[in-house]
Amino acid sequence: MRFFVLVIAVLIPSWAGASDFRPVQERSEFVGLTLGKSLKAFAVTLQVTSEGAIRGRALGRRVDGEWVWRDGYFCREMTAGSTEYTEDCQVVLFDGQGTLRFIAERGAGDQVDLKLSTH
């Protein structure tokens, strides 16, 4: 996952400051924000379902995975092409304008901003 996050972080600068974002603390809020929408950035389009699936494409590779909400974190495992990414629990922040920020390693790692959009 580090490669995936690093590529996205390099390609997509975070224009909004951290103060513009607020934590998403509940699974129900996360599902409400993402239900029926895609998460998009340069060369990335993902869907997360309320049932816990992750599907889409990133950098030309198919992405499949699973997620759960645990102790206030978005915890996911996934594959992108033939690369497997072990579980990582991430802080999720929302800017109120349609962007979700995911911060790896329980908020201590790399971050990526993904825009919410209708399919």
Q: Hey, what CATH topology would domain 2-12+20-118 get? A: Lipocalin (2.40.128)
First to last CA, the chain: 24
List, for residues 39-86, the tens digit of each pLDDT value. Answer: 999 999 999 999 999 999 999 999 999 999 999 999 999 999 999 999
Question: What pTM did the predictor assign?
Answer: 0.84
Beta bridge partners of 14: none
pLDDT (0 to 100) of residue 40: 98
Q: How confident is the model at residue 89 (pLDDT cuts 50, 70, 90)?
A: very high
| Contact present, 25 and 101 (Cβ < 8 Å) | no
pLDDT (0 to 100) of residue 95: 98
Q: How confident is the model at residue 4 (pLDDT cuts 50, 70, 90)?
A: low
